Amino acid sequence: MPRTTINPTSCPGPYPIAAVDLPFVAADIVNKNQVKWTGKELVIAWNTDGVNSYTATVSSANDSHNRSGNIGPKTIAAGAVAIMAGPLPNDGWRQSDGYIYCEASNVAVKFAVITLP
């Protein structure tokens, strides 16, 4: 099955007229997740569990120098929020399909993505 896509939320910008809700999506631990990537996004992971720590990872892609290196797995304590990635350059992060890939070890981890102006 294809990865579950997380849709970014646009940042309200420098002169907002209203606040913007930030929806979180439960990690898909079977199919994993993906985000359409422009290089202006922040990936946030929130461990909603009240007791257990879980991990989240953002996968790299080979860059123009054939290097790679994932972010994580990052252990996120119970109830904690982590900024996992971003903004990141496309080179080394965006996969060949235009997405970046992220995953978590438990559905208690929820992802949100913010696109910066």
pLDDT tens digits, 9-62: 999 888 888 899 999 999 999 999 999 999 999 999 999 999 999 999 999 998
Rg (CA), the chain: 14
pLDDT tens digits, 66-87: 888 999 999 999 999 999 998 9
Quick check: 102 and 28 in contact, CB under 8 A? Answer: no
Q: According to DSSP H, which parts of the chain are helical?
A: none
The CA-to-CA distance between both ends of the chain, in Å, stands at 32
Quote the tokens at residue 87: 């903004």
Domain boundaries, the chain: 4-13+22-115
Task: Respond yes or no on whether the N-terminal peptide bond of residue 14 is cis (omega within 30° of 0).
Answer: no
Among 45-49, 67-71, 105-109, 111-115, name the one with the lowest average pLDDT.
Answer: 67-71
Residue 82's pLDDT is what? 98
